[in-house]
Amino acid sequence: MTKFSRQEYIIYDLPLLSYAASCKWPVKTVGDIAKVIGGGTPDTGVPQYWNPAEIPWATPTDITSCKGIYINKTERNISQMGLQSCSATLLPQNSCLLTSRATIGECRINTIPMATNQGFAALVPKAGTNSYFLFYLTYLLKPTFVRLAAGTTYTEISKRELRRVKCRVPETEEEQAKIANVIKAVDDALACTPDESLMLMRTSLVQNLMTGKVYLKPEASK
């Protein structure tokens, strides 16, 4: 193995250092648990690609201006013809729209089917992956995404590199959902009452529950 390739592997492995030494969750790559899908932009000089405005089309600005964890509308929309004219893909609801260019690692969950421009590497959960667990996992992986992007000519992380980033994931979707639901309860509270103490609690939960440093007690049998 060359020195350069070893350096690459160190970066892809970096998130594994965040997990508790006792964590038994299997090691996965982002590509193991999600389909990584890019976006595209229809030709702005062709009116039929933009009218009728049929499909929400997200840009990174839509993500950064969106409060909370969801996105349900976009500033611009494209037509079915526009979608077919470029590399954009209609993403199913409950995908994780992750920004991958300039602004790296910002993420929202789309509540309706939506397309994106090329500034995204959207994560569509594969079978056995909980959407909300995947969403909170992006917070844990963001420093690695940023570091990989910093190594390119301009600030962008490729879909290929993103797929190779490693993490640990509970084997069952049920366990993933239990973890994610605890964090989501705080996000639901923040949506009603923004509060610094709740933000600190959220950060702590992500850092501890998503890394196996704190385990949830199993539900008592009925």
What are the pLDDT digits (tens) for 119-136?
999 999 999 999 999 999
pLDDT value at position 5? 52
pLDDT value at position 156? 92
Residue ranges of the chain with per-residue pLDDT less than 70: 1-9, 151-153, 219-222
Query: What is the number of other CB atoms lying within 10 angstroms of the CB of residue 112?
Result: 15
pLDDT value at position 75? 97
pLDDT value at position 196? 93
pLDDT tens digits along 110-169: 999 999 999 999 999 999 999 999 999 999 999 999 999 976 667 899 999 999 999 999
Architecture of domain 27-165: Alpha-Beta Complex (3.90)
Burial of 16 (0-12, 13-18, 19+ CB in 10 A): middle
Residues near 86 by beta carbon (within 8 Å), at least 6 away in sequence: 40, 41, 42, 43, 49
Q: CA dist 59 to 38, 62, 82, Å?
A: 12, 5, 15
* Positions of E strands within the chain: 27-29, 34-37, 55-58, 70-71, 76-78, 96-101, 103-110, 115-116, 122-125, 166-168
